[in-house]
């Protein structure tokens, strides 16, 4: 019996010396990585070849509405109160027709904006485009062939009675888009270069209700009347 007691005491002593079992630790939380927001791009003026002519206007210019008030560094036009005053005219600054909307691009008058009375604050009557840099939203521009125009605008109609140009018209509720096509039949010999014949010579977006006519090489072309 004494031997058994010694063994029991030894077992108890060993249990007392044993290390307590470690409690499993919970996993460390994964640190949250905060994403840095991408910097917002500053607005810039569209380049000339980014502008698209449609039946309702050009860029932020909407036919039938006044030219919007846009910061000068973003505006595609700026009003020049003396833009149409010349030695040949009798206009003075402040009179209707004395100023015009000057495009904000180095190219000489790539497009022209005509407002009612040719003054500030009145609705845009039409926007005339003569630059090859400006296309429509279907890719038509100065120099496009008449077949390309017909394919891009199914249902387009042609106005009768034109001479230098044939006027092809696309009507929409928001405005009218007109393409003037160099007309070999109605032009003096040599007026057009051979490569210009039957191609787009001019494009105009008209406000709703405005009459459409040939503008190219007429007194109604451009933002100045004199």
Q: Write down the residue that tokens 């009557």 correspond to.
A: 125
- Considering just the CA atoms, what is the radius of gyration of the chain in Å? 37
Q: Give a yes or no: residue 160 inside a domain.
A: yes
In tens digits, the chain (226 residues) has pLDDT values of 434 444 444 444 434 444 444 555 555 666 665 666 677 888 999 999 999 999 999 999 999 999 999 999 999 999 999 998 988 888 888 888 899 999 999 998 999 999 998 899 999 999 999 999 999 999 999 999 999 999 999 999 999 877 899 999 999 999 999 999 999 998 999 999 999 999 999 999 999 999 999 988 777 777 787 6
Instruction: Please check whether residue 74 lies inside any domain of the structure.
Output: yes
Predicted confidence at residue 220, as pLDDT, reads 72
Count how many domains the chain has.
1
In a domain, 9, yes or no: no
Structure tokens at 16: 């007392």
Please give the residue range of the domain that contains residue 140.
Answer: 48-206
113 falls within a domain: yes
Q: With respect to residue 199, please indicate whether it lies within any of the assigned structural domains.
A: yes
In a domain, 1, yes or no: no
- Tell me whether residue 201 is in a domain: yes
The CATH number given to whatever domain includes residue 64 is: 2.60.460.10
Residue 15 lies in a domain: no
Look-up: residue for tokens 């044939």?
A: 166
């Amino acid at each position: 019996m004494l031997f058994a007691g010694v063994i029991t005491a030894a077992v108890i002593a060993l249990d007392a010396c044993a290390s307590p079992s470690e409690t499993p630790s919970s996993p460390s939380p994964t640190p949250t990585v905060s994403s840095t927001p991408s910097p917002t791009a500053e607005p810039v003026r569209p380049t000339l070849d980014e502008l698209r002519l449609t039946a309702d206007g050009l860029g932020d210019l909407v036919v039938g509405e006044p030219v919007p008030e846009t910061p000068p560094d973003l505006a595609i036009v700026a009003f020049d109160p003396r833009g149409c005053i010349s030695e040949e005219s009798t206009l003075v600054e402040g009179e209707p027709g004395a100023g015009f909307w000057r495009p904000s691009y180095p190219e000489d008058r790539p497009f022209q904006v005509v407002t009612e009375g040719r003054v500030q604050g009145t609705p845009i009557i039409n926007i005339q485009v003569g630059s090859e840099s400006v296309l429509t939203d279907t890719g038509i521009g100065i120099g496009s062939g008449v077949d390309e125009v017909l394919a891009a605008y199914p249902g387009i109609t042609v106005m009768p009675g034109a001479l230098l140009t044939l006027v092809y018209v696309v009507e929409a509720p928001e405005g009218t888009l007109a393409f003037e096509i160099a007309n070999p039949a109605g032009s003096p010999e040599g007026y057009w270069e051979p490569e210009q014949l039957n191609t787009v010579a001019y494009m105009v977006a008209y406000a709703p209700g405005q009459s459409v006519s040939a503008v190219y090489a007429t007194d109604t072309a451009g933002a100045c009347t004199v």
